[in-house]
Amino acid sequence: MSWESDLTAEAAASVIEETVAAVGPLDEAAMRDAREHQARLTKPPGSLGVLEDLPVRLAGLAGTCPPPLPEPAAVAVFAADHGVHAQGVSPWPQEVTAQMVANFLAGGAVVNAFAAQVGATVTVVDVGVAADLPAAPGLLPRKIAPGTADLTLGPAMTAGQARRAMAVGIETARDLAGSGARCLLTGDMGIANTTASAALIAAFTGLPAERVTGRGTGIDDATHARKVEIVRAALARHALPAGDGDTPDGGTEYGLRVLAAVGGFEHAALAGFILGGAALRVPVVLDGVIAGAAALAAAAIAPDAVAACVAGHRSAEPGHSATVDHLGLRPLVDLELRLGEGTGALLALPLVQSAVRVLHEVATFDSAGVSGKGSGQSHGMITE
């Protein structure tokens, strides 16, 4: 057995505390500059639709206009196993988690193909894979434990484990940003993690289990019914909000308690990764339902962390739509993907980069000598 994350729970608590303290609101002055600059660019106002709001928000995040181009980009794929797998919630054997990690490291997965297409690096973080993984380039060995405990029988992890996993995510964000990444993308691998995601989403949104529990990698009706029942029972067992739309105020202790009760090590690490990116004021492009569940935890802990998040895509999992609605985020890509690994975030990356590049490179009406709206009558131009 390997217990490779050497941070103590106390050290993790202080890393979390200083990170949460560093997460702050968007800079209004930089956003105003971005809006004013955008109004002068050689295009009809509003013509870039959703891609107009995004760079304004990223200017607010960076505190400067234009914000830095979100490149180079780095995906962190947090991998872990789940005790709830024993309840038959996924048709796939648990070994697939470790086998897919090997596939990521060999460059053979969809995440690798998509990352190559957009020039992003892929780092795999073992935060709780059941099997021992051999050392390999591109693999960060940060195992908290070989899989969580079964959330139907008790808490999935201890409070200390949840803190340590969260600190692994924070440190991963710091390390990638420290190596030059200007855009962080979330990735995940963990057979059965859509069950834990559904439980987290129900707990943080107050929606009922049947609304937020999907078919994951593909399950039949009977298995889906059992999965919904497992999520419902877990919420009751752990005294978490379930279905009444009412959720407690949040805070670090509450966020960690929910993660420890029904989350996975990758969820806790992803929540830390999001908080870490937000604290560094680096945008974090979220993948699908697993990342969304983690973002809900991050938002419960530090509401301003959402300002750093870009919803890369809309996952086919029902809980994901509920999640982005709850967070007030609009997914950029909607292609019925339900893979995970970071694939939906990677597809969105060129959109995020293009939107920011507009503020850097597009000429203004003045600089390009292009007439503004309403100034064309004297030339006989058609105006509205």
Ligand X SMILES: O=C(O)c1cccnc1
Q: Which is nearer to ligand RBZ, 19 or 172 (CB)?
A: 172
Work out how close the CB of 290 gets to ligand X at its nearest, in angstroms, rounded to a whole number. 5
Binding letters toward ligand X, positions 181-210, x by CB under 6 A: -------------x----------------
Residue 338 near ligand X by CB under 6 A: yes
Residue 294 near ligand RBZ by CB under 6 A: no
**Part of the chain binding ligand RBZ (CB under 6 A), chosen from 92-100, 128-136, 146-154, 312-320:** 92-100
Contacts for 122 with CB less than 8 Å, ≥ 6 apart = 74, 75, 77, 104, 111, 112, 115, 138, 187, 342
Chain centroid to CA 116: how far? 20
Residue 217 near ligand RBZ by CB under 6 A: yes
**Part of the chain binding ligand X (CB under 6 A), chosen from 50-58, 160-168, 335-343, 364-372:** 335-343
Catalytic residue check, 361? no
Which token pair is 249? 């105020």
Q: Which does 192 bind (CB under 5 to 8 A by kind): ligand RBZ, ligand X, none?
A: ligand RBZ
Site for ligand X in 261-320 (CB under 6 A): 287-290, 315, 317, 320
Work out how close the CB of 78 gets to ligand X at its nearest, in angstroms, rounded to a whole number. 12
**In sequence order, what are the beta bridge partners of 333?**
313
Nearest to 293 by CA among 319, 331, 311: 319
Catalytic residue among 253, 341, 361, 384: 341
Q: Which is nearer to ligand RBZ, 112 or 252 (CB)?
A: 112
CA distances from 207 to 82, 131, 148, 259 (A): 23, 34, 24, 17
3-class state of residue 173 by DSSP: helix
- Please give the Cα distance from 284 to 276 (Å, whole number): 9
Site for ligand RBZ in 339-368 (CB under 6 A): 339-341
Q: Total residues contacting ligand RBZ (rule CB under 6 A)?
A: 17
- Please give the Cα distance from 93 to 375 (Å, whole number): 67
DSSP 89: -
DSSP 5: -
Out of 65, 80, 98, 100, name the contact with ligand RBZ by CB under 6 A: 100
Determine contact, residues 177/282, Cβ cutoff 8 Å.
Answer: yes
Q: Which is nearer to ligand RBZ, 55 or 216 (CB)?
A: 216
CA distances from 189 to 97, 103, 244, 312, 356 (A): 6, 11, 31, 17, 30
Q: Which is nearer to ligand X, 152 or 194 (CB)?
A: 194
Residue 291 near ligand RBZ by CB under 6 A: no
Out of 235, 340, 352, 358, name the contact with ligand X by CB under 6 A: 340
Q: Which is nearer to ligand RBZ, 27 or 266 (CB)?
A: 266
Determine contact, residues 8/43, Cβ cutoff 8 Å.
Answer: no
Q: Total residues contacting ligand X (rule CB under 6 A)?
A: 13
Q: Which does 67 bind (CB under 5 to 8 A by kind): ligand X, ligand RBZ, none?
A: none
Nearest to 352 by CA among 142, 80, 40, 71: 71
**Part of the chain binding ligand RBZ (CB under 6 A), chosen from 45-53, 114-122, 192-200, 314-322:** 192-200
CA distances from 334 to 51, 316, 317 (A): 15, 9, 12
Strand stretches in the chain, DSSP E? 73-80, 121-128, 139-141, 183-189, 284-286, 309-311
Binding site for ligand RBZ (CB under 6 A): 90, 92, 96, 100, 188-195, 216-217, 339-341
| Interacting residue ranges for ligand X, rule: CB under 6 A | 194, 216-217, 287-290, 315, 317, 320, 338-340
Active-site residues, by number, are 341
